[in-house]
Amino acid sequence: MWCQRLVWLLRGQRGSTGRRWPQLPRDPEPVLAALARCHSTAPASPCCAWQLHQDHLELRYGSTVMRLDFVWLRDHCRSASCYNAKTSQRSLDTASVDLGIQPQAVRVDDTTLFLTWPDGHVTRYGLEWLAKNSYEGQKQQVMHPRILWNAEIYRQAQVPSIDCRSFLETDEGLKEFLQNFLLYGIAFVENVTPTKEDTKILAERVSIIRETIYGRMWYFTSDFSRGDTAYTKLALDRHTDTTYFQEPCGIQVFHCLKHEGTGGRTLLVDGFHAAEQVLRQAPEHFELLAKVPLKHEYVENVGGCHNHMIGVGPVLNVYPWNNELYLIRYNNYDRAVFNTVPHDVVRRWYHAHRALTTELRRPDNELWVKLKPGKALFVDNWRVLHGREAFTGYRQLCGCYLTRDDVLNTARLLGLQA
């Protein structure tokens, strides 16, 4: 009780008798810190220490030192009146929280932080929850576990293709497929009936099909029926698709239905592996590619198709709290006029872009595969670049784009980190 009264005394608040203690003229911070140290050395919490500051609580739990703002601590209260556990939604009106709020009392035991607020409300946090959900905890965590690869690493991994029946009919098959896809950014399904209709059934097992200007399921040959180089027999350099969308399509499905000719192998390159090499060799290049926004543009006037799409974003997109790369937007075909930075940045950006392009074009990073009827390929369009060698003869491909959110949702529901 003497500790609680000391907190009241230092903050000029009322004691349990209703009497207001006189406000001391001195700064309470040093004494509050001493009080916190007194608590933190209690034998009951040998792995935890804490210290009060004017606007936050500093809490050490294990090897993690967290600085938790008082407003943040009030806003994230998981009590029944503040949080609906059934819907996993906040009930507290954040705008009602005093932005100068401070706890009246703080207590920590082996597993839990207790805070009593000026209105008497008590907030409880598990220390494990705080260590996981604090900024300092998130900074140490990876959002999406991945295995970065070049051609040799991928071949040595001997990642199995998933049989179509297992994929469609069992959660185990679907989970194995998604685990491969999340780790490597590509995954194959074998023994698929080579029709557009069966490919659609395959895609919808994972996600909602994303309808775009190309429709839901696209089906093409080299007839140049759309204003895109993909609808030719020409080679295609490595790239990601739909960079001209504000949110590029997340996953792409390819299924070769027929090819009567030569060539046409598919090129796959792990863009995250290439970006990681740039980060190690020239961090300033990586930083610039993650900072400078670019415009990508698609203009089409072929037959009855008239489109003008513009997407804006940097080549590399990272989570700011841990610098984890989550999207690469790379397409030299569709990159629009570069006019988003002043002249003194332009040349530095070209040097950075060249460094990334050099890594993407290293032969060691190129995985070449021959798509055949019955073998469908899923590609993470936010990570893996694809291309194609020139081909001869008649070649039919079908496929679609999938909504990324729904793919990750399916993975999480099966217990995967995504």
Token pair 């990570």: residue? 383
- The contacts found for 4-10 with CB under 8 angstroms, 24 or more apart, are 4/104, 4/105, 6/31, 6/35, 7/32, 7/35, 7/104, 7/105, 8/104
SS3 103: coil
pLDDT 10s digits, 40-89: 433 335 578 999 999 999 999 999 999 999 999 999 999 999 999 999 99
399 has pLDDT over 70? yes
Question: Structure tokens of 39?
Answer: 């608590």
Question: Structure tokens of 232?
Answer: 């030719």
pLDDT at 228: 56
pLDDT at 50: 95
> Cα–chain-centroid distance for residue 406?
14
pLDDT at 223: 55
230 has pLDDT over 70? no
pLDDT at 24: 35
SS3 20: strand
| CATH domain 151-413 topology | Double-stranded beta-helix (3.60.130)
- Mean local confidence (pLDDT), 361-387: 97
- The pLDDT-based confidence of 22 (bands split at 50, 70, 90) is very low
SS3 409: helix
> Cα–chain-centroid distance for residue 284?
22
- The pLDDT-based confidence of 149 (bands split at 50, 70, 90) is very high
- Mean local confidence (pLDDT), 395-410: 95
Q: Output b/e per residue, 255-264; b: 16+ Cβ within 10 A.
A: bbbebeeeeb
Q: How many CB atoms lie within 10 A of CB 108?
A: 23
pLDDT at 220: 79
* Percentage of the chain lying above the pLDDT 70 cut: 87
Separation CA 79–CA 63 (nearest Å): 27
Question: Structure tokens of 172?
Answer: 């185990």
Return the domain boundaries, the chain: 9-138, 151-413
- Mean local confidence (pLDDT), 272-289: 98
Q: Is the pTM of this model over 0.75?
A: yes
* Percentage of the chain lying above the pLDDT 90 cut: 81
Question: Structure tokens of 210?
Answer: 């994303």
SS3 186: strand
pLDDT 10s digits, 300-346: 998 889 999 999 999 999 999 999 999 999 999 999 999 999 999 99
Q: Do 334 and 296 touch, CB atoms closer than 8 A? A: yes
257 has pLDDT over 90? yes
137 has pLDDT over 60? yes
SS3 346: helix
167 has pLDDT over 50? yes
pLDDT at 33: 45
26 has pLDDT over 70? no
27 has pLDDT over 90? no
pLDDT 10s digits, 173-194: 999 999 999 999 999 999 999 9
Which burial class, exposed, middle or buried, applies to 271 when counting CB atoms under 10 A from its CB (0-12, 13-18, 19+)?
buried
| Domain 9-138 -> CATH class | alpha beta
- The pLDDT-based confidence of 9 (bands split at 50, 70, 90) is very low
16 has pLDDT over 50? no
111 has pLDDT over 90? yes
Token pair 């629009």: residue? 336
Would you give the DSSP letter of residue 231? G
Q: Do 265 and 387 touch, CB atoms closer than 8 A? A: no
